[in-house]
Structure 1
């Protein structure tokens, strides 16, 4: 189960980077290499998402929850905005849902 969750978090990181790097390119007039790196991150995202050994709909459902948690962590670590109690509570509720979906794969 930890391997599955780690793969989900790595997948989410690639998706967030794939969106964040072009955003930086647009907002800060960055190098075209940001677009290349963003495209590579999105390719890695698709590849990583394909590594899960169960039905795609179940993978997408569980991944969606991990993505939300990852976005909150990005907000805190990259954007330097402190999470509020309701952010943490929401992340806990979402993580519970993810685990309810993922745990049966491991049996």
Structure 2
């Protein structure tokens, strides 16, 4: 593999992705789109942690600024007060 590691490194990621996909199927359909926004935030954090901890490359300023913008956006989608229609 690219970093000289075994292909078994893929297994935890695949299990995590499958578990999260399963959990998304358990969300009420009215809020499924918002659940995908939460997934986006989780994916971004996991990707930067992978970059830092597995690939030994610290996220730079632009990575952190972009991630912060996305997490704030996901927070607005998930937590904004909504009126009943």
User: Which residue in the other structure is 2:21 paired with?
Assistant: 46
Distance of 1:43 and 1:84 partners within structure 2: 29
Gaps of 5+ in 2: none
| Structure exhibiting the larger radius of gyration computed from Cα positions | 2
Gaps of 5+ in 1: 1-26
1:29: Cα distance to partner?
8.6
Distance of 2:41 and 2:51 partners within structure 1: 16
Note closer, same or farther for the CA distance 1:60–1:74 as it changes in structure 2 (3 Å cut): same
More helix by share: 1
Q: How many residues align structurally?
A: 76
Moved over 6 A (4+): none
Q: Which range is displaced more, 70-79 or 60-69? A: 60-69
Deviation per CA, 1:10-67: give whole Å up to 9, x if none. xxxxxxxxxxxxxxxxx26947xx4xx4654443232232344452222113312331
Q: Retained in 1: the 8 A contact 2:37–2:78?
A: no
User: Which residue in the other structure is 2:52 paired with?
Assistant: 76
User: Which residue in the other structure is 2:32 paired with?
Assistant: 56
What TM-score do you get using the length of structure 2 for normalisation? 0.63
